[in-house]
């Protein structure tokens, strides 16, 4: 994995553990020689990931919609900053520029990015690992819901392992590096669906 897209919040929660985790991710990726592709912002967890990666000598590629550049939230210190027309182009760029995805705590936008990465993997638009860092149990309920969708039958058995979940970053990165691509929907016949 040469580059990973990092999905996380642009907010700064009161609990400093969230920012500390984001900084750990940025620093660790840089130390492993893995570039960061992220939302291009300078605020919240996004800014913490980018700043820590840059301070550790890592590559940081930001992808930000024009409207957010105008709101003066763009991180001008990135190795590269790609300005795109909107969110659809942003998420496509994340997929095109990265070898996998790591999701940290975040809000609605982070969930949108995570679910699209999983959905695109199921379909076959990519076959890259999709990791979820469940630090501090932040995503416990989401993980339970994901398993519930699989148990009910809305996530096919062939796709139930797309979302790789770990509580510790090193374990997550190791699991992602061992990811074996699944059979995509595009490769299935009607009887398989």
Q: How far is CA 168 from CA 60, 158, 163, in A?
A: 22, 25, 15
Angle at 19 between CA 91 and CA 73, to 5 degrees: 50
Q: From CA 113, how far away is CA 7, in angstroms rounded?
A: 7
The pLDDT-based confidence of 188 (bands split at 50, 70, 90) is: confident
Q: From CA 51, how far away is CA 35, in angstroms rounded?
A: 13
The pLDDT-based confidence of 186 (bands split at 50, 70, 90) is: confident
Q: From CA 13, how far away is CA 9, in angstroms rounded?
A: 9
Nearest residue to 156 (alpha-carbon basis) of 175, 120, 177, 182: 182
CA dihedral over 135, 154, 156, 88, signed as positive or negative: negative
Q: Is the pLDDT of residue 81 over 80?
A: yes
| Angle, in degrees to the nearest 10, between helices 44-55 and 16-31 | 40
Per-residue model confidence as pLDDT tens digits over 104-119? 999 999 999 999 999 9
Per-residue model confidence as pLDDT tens digits over 18-62? 999 999 999 999 999 999 999 999 999 999 999 999 999 999 999
* Inter-residue contact 52 to 23 (CB < 8 Å): yes
Give the model's pLDDT for residue 190.
77
The pLDDT-based confidence of 76 (bands split at 50, 70, 90) is: very high
In the block, tokens 């969110």 appear at 87
Q: How far is CA 87 from CA 7, 58, 160, in A?
A: 13, 25, 27
The domains of the chain, with CATH numbers, are 3-192 (3.40.50.450)
Nearest residue to 99 (alpha-carbon basis) of 171, 22, 32: 32
- Give the DSSP H or E segment for 132: strand 130-133
């Amino acid at each position: 994995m040469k580059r990973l897209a990092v999905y996380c919040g642009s907010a700064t929660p009161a609990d400093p553990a969230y920012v500390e985790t984001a900084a750990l991710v940025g620093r660790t990726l840089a130390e492993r020689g893995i570039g960061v592709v992220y939302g291009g912002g300078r605020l919240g967890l996004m800014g913490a990931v980018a700043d820590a990666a840059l301070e550790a000598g890592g590559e940081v590629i930001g992808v930000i919609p024009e409207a957010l550049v105008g709101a003066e939230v763009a991180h001008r210190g990135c190795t590269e900053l790609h300005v795109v027309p909107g969110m659809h182009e942003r998420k496509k760029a994340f997929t095109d520029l990265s070898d996998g995805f790591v999701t940290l705590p975040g809000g609605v936008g982070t969930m949108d990015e995570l679910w699209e990465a999983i959905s695109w993997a199921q379909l076959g638009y990519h076959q890259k690992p999709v990791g979820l860092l469940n630090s501090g149990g932040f995503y416990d309920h989401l993980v339970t819901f994901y398993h519930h969708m699989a148990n009910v039958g809305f996530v096919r058995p062939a796709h139930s392992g797309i979302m790789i979940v770990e509580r510790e970053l090193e374990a997550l990165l190791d699991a992602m590096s061992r990811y074996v691509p699944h059979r995509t929907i595009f490769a299935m016949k009607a009887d398989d669906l």
